[in-house]
Amino acid sequence: MTDKINLIEKDNLEALYAISQIAAQAKDLPTLWEPLLAQALAVLKVDAGSLMILEEDFLLRKAVRGLGEEIMQEAPIPTSSGGISWRVVRTRQPAIVTDLSKEKIASKELSKEGFHSLVAVPMMVRDEVIGVMSVFTRKERQFSAEDLRFFSIIANQAALAVISISSTELLKENRRRLEELEALNQISKSVSTLFDFEETLSSLVSSITRLLRADKGVLVLFDHKDQLLKAVSPAYGLTPSQVRDLRTRSDEGITGQAFCQGVPIMKGVLDPATQEILRRAKITGVKSVLAAPLKVKSQTLGVIQVFSTAEENFHPDDRRLFTILSSQVAVMVNSASMYREIEEERKKDAALLASIGEGVLAIDKNQKITHLNLAGEKMTGFLAEELLEKTFSETICLYDKDKQPVNLSDSPIGQVLRNGQSQTSKDFYLKKRSNSLFPCYLSLAAVYNAEERIVGAIVVFRDITYELELEQMKQELISIATHELRSPITLIKGNLAMILDGDTGGVSGETKETIEELAKINQRLADLVDDLLNVGRLEQGRIKIKIESVDLRKLIEEEVKEYLPQAREKNLNLSSSKNDIPQVRADREKLRQVLENLISNAIKYTPEKSQSSKFKSQNNRIEISLEQKGREVICRVKDHGLGISSEGQKKLFEKFYRVKTAQTREITGTGLGLWITKKLIEMMGGKIWFTTVENKGSSFYFSLPACKRFA
């Protein structure tokens, strides 16, 4: 170092100091070039000079002095130019030209200027050439070795300044990017809790655009219906109408390429197709574009792209960063669309729930109320918000048919929460906000989570106050009407019997037939009235059961005797089994009613057999048999009649239900017999069921508790 200083004059030392000051004060590279070059020119006392920086295969002019401005507009000098500057780069040695007219000069502008001599030195840092500094003189000048040496020192100092500023800039740039990336990271993290996808996507698009020093950024998604790539909001730096008009086919421009090829595309200069797409959307001034596909698993949802008004704005590093960020955006876009779908479904469900006329209440596993629809609010007088987070028992509560509070875990609701079995019931009351109770029809279903575990229940309820009142009115009406009918029917029955017995004088021929027919019709009327009265009494709980030991076998024998004439009329063989069976615990008269109904049905619903078949086949038999099973006695009434269709089987025990076929049309009945029979059997602690094959016959069974003692 001392050697060097000795060789350098004082002026030159000052010049070097000035250069170090320039480097220290420069804010960035553009503010560095001009003063550096000016200093070199002053020291070497020359007219003009230029400073070029090496970028890959080109030398880029960063500053010129003493030359026309046009030279700055010239294209960078490629390695292939073979000029003096590239020779300096390759040889890493200064070049001195005394007579420029004999040299090949790459720059046209420079050759026009008519310079005579030139010195060009490499700008070197740690054995690496980063650029070339050149000075020119109009007159011929012999540059001394010292000039050359000093110029080299200036050039190397300048190179050092360039490197130090660019690394500071790089550091700053990296720090900025890191900060932005950190911000992006925070944004994506907050999504899992925020669910504000629109806002998050908007932040992502604007942050990514700024991070890449671009001016505009936008998401372009593939619309499957229209088969087009369409820009969607949120976008950065674009107006809503530009976003609306930014549409392209999937094979068009950079957007189409990134989408179809599934790889990021970087363009420093725009191709005509992309220019056309931007023109259609009235987006002006775009010079370079970066586009990356938005991929989730094997699906490409669309493209994210950023535009810059600067040519060659993007660097290969930007592309790498963009690719990483685009995958984050893709996940977000996918989640947003899924979330939107769920939201839509949820809204639809909510609208549906609100429009349902029945109350819908949802509770969780711990009975906490999580939802109450509009109809439910109206029925109970509670607002949904009042009930949320409170338990069912604390608020609406369940009451049994005697209006006593029910322990929820023992109720059907508790059962649904435990075993998931759906059920319906109308023997309950719910409480209103005013504390009054209302009878309701309940329909319950369990709610399951993805692992098929019960997480709650849905309680659908309907206020049936009016229905019950109406039903009661109907019953009362029927009861009054049937009572009023009973006496005249009995009177008619007696009188008709008297006439037929000849008490009023002999009847014969047609008159007798007519009166017999009238007696039959009257009997049907009497049966109907009896059935209706029974139904009314059963429904109102007015039928009392008197349980005693009953010899069922004997009762059956009595009934068989009673029905034998009817059976014979149709050539049917009515019989009962004679095996030993314990007595049963039942109400004798109710049990008689049950037997009468089942035996009369068996006769009614078996078509008349021909005289001959009576001897040949078994299918004219109606058999009543008894069997003991454990603590129960089971009675079977078996016929070989019409049997019952599968449709009929489902509704057989319903009130007023009758199977309607061509064969049953002529058979009279009320459709009440089996309903009454079932109620009576159940009241006596038994069960009733049947097996049947259409056109082959049926067996009706009932069970009753057996007495310990044998008959």
Q: In this structure, are residues 636 and 700 in contact, taking their beta carbons and an 8 Å threshold? A: yes
Can you read off the two tokens belonging to residue 110? Answer: 């420079």
Say whether residue 635 binds ligand ADP (CB under 6 A): no
Q: Least Å distance between CB 572 and ligand ADP?
A: 12
User: Pick from 486, 493, 586, 492: which is nearest to 536 by CA?
Assistant: 486
Which C-beta is closer to ligand ADP: that of 65 or that of 658?
Answer: 658
Say whether residue 523 binds ligand ADP (CB under 6 A): no
Say whether residue 360 binds ligand ADP (CB under 6 A): no
Can you read off the two tokens belonging to residue 681? Answer: 């059997």
Q: Least Å distance between CB 574 and ligand ADP?
A: 13
Say whether residue 626 binds ligand ADP (CB under 6 A): no
Say whether residue 659 binds ligand ADP (CB under 6 A): yes
Can you read off the two tokens belonging to residue 231? Answer: 């820009």
Residue from 107, 670, 686, 702 binding ligand ADP (CB under 6 A): 670
Say whether residue 644 binds ligand ADP (CB under 6 A): yes
Q: In this structure, are residues 95 and 86 in contact, taking their beta carbons and an 8 Å threshold? A: no
Which C-beta is closer to ligand ADP: that of 671 or that of 685?
Answer: 671
Which C-beta is closer to ligand ADP: that of 510 or that of 647?
Answer: 647
Q: Which range touches ligand ADP (CB under 6 A), out of 234-242, 404-412, 584-592, 655-663?
A: 655-663
Residue from 83, 253, 641, 686 binding ligand ADP (CB under 6 A): 641
Of all residues in the shown chain, the one whose CB is closest to ligand ADP is 669
User: Pick from 47, 338, 18, 16: which is nearest to 156 by CA?
Assistant: 16
Q: Least Å distance between CB 659 and ligand ADP?
A: 3
Q: In this structure, are residues 158 and 136 in contact, taking their beta carbons and an 8 Å threshold? A: no
Q: Least Å distance between CB 366 and ligand ADP?
A: 46
Q: Least Å distance between CB 682 and ligand ADP?
A: 15
The strand pairing partners of 109, in sequence order, are none
Where in 335-476 does DSSP place strands (E)?
Answer: 359-364, 369-372, 398-399, 423-431, 437-448, 454-463
Q: Least Å distance between CB 431 and ligand ADP?
A: 39
Say whether residue 529 binds ligand ADP (CB under 6 A): no
Strand order in the sheet with 359-364: 369-372, 359-364, 454-463, 437-448, 423-431, 398-399
Which C-beta is closer to ligand ADP: that of 369 or that of 659?
Answer: 659
| Position 482, amino acid | T
Say whether residue 655 binds ligand ADP (CB under 6 A): no
Rounded to the nearest 10°, the torsion over CA 317, 322, 327, 330 is -170
Which C-beta is closer to ligand ADP: that of 339 or that of 657?
Answer: 657
User: Pick from 636, 689, 635, 698: which is nearest to 664 by CA?
Assistant: 698
DSSP string, 161-230: HHHHHHHHHHHHHHHHHHHHHHHHHHHHHHHHHH--HHHHHHHHHHHHHHHTT-SEEEEEEEETTTTEEE
Q: Least Å distance between CB 642 and ligand ADP?
A: 5
Q: How far apart are CA 213 and CA 597, in angstroms?
A: 94
Q: Least Å distance between CB 699 and ligand ADP?
A: 9
Q: In this structure, are residues 582 and 709 in contact, taking their beta carbons and an 8 Å threshold? A: yes
Say whether residue 664 binds ligand ADP (CB under 6 A): yes
Q: Least Å distance between CB 698 and ligand ADP?
A: 4
Q: Least Å distance between CB 389 and ligand ADP?
A: 51
Backbone phi, psi, residue 633, to 5°: -110, 135
Which C-beta is closer to ligand ADP: that of 258 or that of 652?
Answer: 652
Q: How far apart are CA 520 and CA 58, in angstroms?
A: 121
Q: Least Å distance between CB 629 and ligand ADP?
A: 22
Which C-beta is closer to ligand ADP: that of 364 or that of 527?
Answer: 527
Say whether residue 414 binds ligand ADP (CB under 6 A): no
Residue from 553, 658, 678, 679 binding ligand ADP (CB under 6 A): 658
Backbone phi, psi, residue 246, to 5°: -85, 90
| Size of site (CB under 6 A) for ligand ADP | 21
Which C-beta is closer to ligand ADP: that of 287 or that of 655?
Answer: 655
Which C-beta is closer to ligand ADP: that of 166 or that of 573?
Answer: 573
Q: How far apart are CA 10 and CA 6, in angstroms?
A: 9
Say whether residue 639 binds ligand ADP (CB under 6 A): yes
Residue from 291, 642, 680, 684 binding ligand ADP (CB under 6 A): 642
Residue from 133, 652, 680, 704 binding ligand ADP (CB under 6 A): 652
Neighbours of 532 (CB within 10 A): 19
- The pattern of x and - marking residues 672 through 691 that bind ligand ADP according to CB under 6 A reads xxxx----------------
Residue from 76, 671, 685, 705 binding ligand ADP (CB under 6 A): 671
Q: How far apart are CA 595 and CA 167, in angstroms?
A: 107
| Position 235, amino acid | A
Residues 565-624 that bind ligand ADP (CB under 6 A): 597, 601-602, 605
Which C-beta is closer to ligand ADP: that of 35 or that of 673?
Answer: 673
Q: How far apart are CA 640 and CA 696, in angstroms?
A: 6
Q: Least Å distance between CB 605 and ligand ADP?
A: 3
Q: How far apart are CA 201 and CA 602, in angstroms?
A: 76
Residues that bind ligand ADP (CB under 6 A): 597, 601-602, 605, 639, 641-642, 644, 652, 657-659, 664, 669-675, 698
